[in-house]
Amino acid sequence: MQSKANSVADYLEGLAPERRALVEALRAAVRSRLDPQFSELMQYGMIGYCVPHSVFAPGYHCDPKQPLPYAGIASQKNHVSLYLMGLYCGGGGEAETAETRWFREAWAGSGKKLDMGKGCVRFKKLDDIAFEVVAEAIARVPAQLFIARYLATRSGR
């Protein structure tokens, strides 16, 4: 479900209280270790974290007017999704990156059940989230490393 909100504050305000608490807690974990070169904004109908044009002028190859997406938090119909492009950027085809392997192992060590797609982690309640693993995943891929991997992936096509 893409939101029509124009700001993160509007997005949060439009959520039901229980869902807002989950999104705000997840947002706090992301922001706690986020490289300052990333920016928070509304992107693709969700809370997005991106490499702004001031840091990476070319923007996102699919739409160069958009800054390069790095992570996102979206309230969906039945869950909240955390999109972590830093986990799979740099993997060749179906190959799992070292960050993805680390993430799966760290999550398993947290004792929480992992509901994960390629780069999307899904949650239904606060108790589902391994906040320290989320924060560390964000910290492990700073903006310049993400840009380098993104460029390497793009040039390899």
pLDDT tens for the chain, 157 residues: list them: 678 888 999 999 999 999 999 999 999 999 999 999 999 999 999 999 999 999 999 999 999 999 999 999 999 999 999 999 988 776 655 677 888 899 999 999 999 999 998 779 999 999 999 999 999 999 999 999 999 999 988 886 5
CATH class name, domain 8-155: alpha beta
- Token digits of residue 101: 């392997």
Angle between helices 131-140 and 98-110 (to 10 degrees): 160
Place of tokens 């949650």: 123
Residue 38 tokens, joined: 């990333």
DSSP state of 114: P
